[in-house]
């Protein structure tokens, strides 16, 4: 028996039998819905996350679940997307981005917008909100309160959007945040188990559900776009289209931040590299 056949048999003998055809269909639908390419080595992760959906729906195996996914505009489509998307994040993750934002990008943008005093920022793939709230802290600390600053935070997953909008986190999530920022930007619950982001930060941010592969109801231009650890799930062709759309929405000389394992090399020539995963639009 080959290793590949054994893996297939293992999945057929689990709590919810999942055939090779089931997984192939899930791979295809995931790509069509989200642009995410699920490689074969993601099969265990996919099984684990979707098994919860089968339990919720009282389905005995993956065959009827796949039938649901094939139905047009079925409510399970949203639950499927939420289940397979990954939402790993933290406050001030990849801190060099926020240092650059504070010391270089924002001062440059402030100089360029002296006349209109308007700044627009987009956190694309914002997960549960720790990235946009980190951006908002830096903005509040750097930009005069008289300025018109708006921060759009979007994600494919409706559950994480709701989490971000609520702005409530377990206390250990802000362990890496400085004592000064903890005091200024968070309120602690009576039990001390959770914290809430203060309204002064929340008022800067608009949370919206958005599929990056579909039309964007967004006008721009943006001065800054964060799209970190999102495109690693997309193939090169999808990446090229996505970054071209970002460039179209960025103002001239606008800034783009991507994830630590991502690169624009051989993807687009519309940005120049400024430092580790930090770019500026050149055309």
Where in the sequence numbering do the catalytic residues fall? Answer: 49, 155
Identify the burial level of 217 via C-beta atoms within 10 angstroms of its C-beta, where 0-12 means exposed, 13-18 middle and 19 or more buried: exposed
Single out the residue of 68, 136, 54 nearest to residue 102, CA to CA: 136
Single out the residue of 10, 20, 19, 25 nearest to residue 1, CA to CA: 10
The enclosing H or E element of 188 equals strand 186-188
Q: 222-227 and 250-258 as β-strands: parallel, antiparallel, unpaired?
A: parallel
DSSP 228-256: -SSGGGS-HHHHHHHHHHHHHHEEEEEEE
């Amino acid at each position: 028996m080959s290793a590949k056949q054994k893996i297939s048999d293992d999945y057929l003998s689990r709590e919810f039998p999942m055939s090779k055809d089931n997984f192939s269909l899930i791979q295809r639908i995931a790509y069509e819905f989200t642009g995410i390419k699920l490689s074969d080595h993601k099969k265990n992760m996919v099984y684990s996350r979707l098994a919860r959906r089968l339990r919720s729906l009282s389905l005995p195996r993956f065959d009827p679940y796949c039938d649901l996914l094939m139905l047009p505009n079925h409510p399970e489509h949203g639950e499927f997307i939420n289940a397979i998307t990954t939402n790993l994040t933290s406050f001030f993750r990849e801190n060099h981005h926020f240092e650059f934002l504070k010391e270089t990008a924002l001062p440059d943008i402030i100089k360029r917008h002296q006349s209109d005093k308007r700044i627009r920022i987009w956190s694309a793939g914002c997960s549960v909100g720790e990235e946009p709230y980190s951006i908002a802290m830096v903005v509040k600390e750097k930009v005069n309160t008289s300025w018109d600053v708006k921060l759009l935070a979007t994600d494919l997953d409706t559950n994480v959007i709701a989490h971000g909008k609520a702005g409530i986190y377990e206390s250990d999530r802000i362990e890496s945040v400085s004592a000064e920022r903890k005091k200024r930007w968070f309120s602690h619950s009576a039990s001390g188990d959770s914290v809430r982001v203060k309204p002064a930060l929340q008022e800067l941010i608009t949370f919206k559900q958005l599929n990056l592969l579909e039309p964007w109801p967004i006008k721009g231009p943006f001065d800054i776009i964060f799209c970190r650890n999102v495109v690693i799930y997309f193939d090169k062709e999808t990446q090229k289209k996505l970054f071209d759309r970002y460039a179209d929405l960025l103002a001239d000389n606008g800034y783009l931040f991507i994830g630590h394992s991502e690169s624009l090399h051989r993807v687009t020539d519309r940005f120049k590299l400024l430092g580790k995963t930090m770019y500026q639009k050149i055309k």
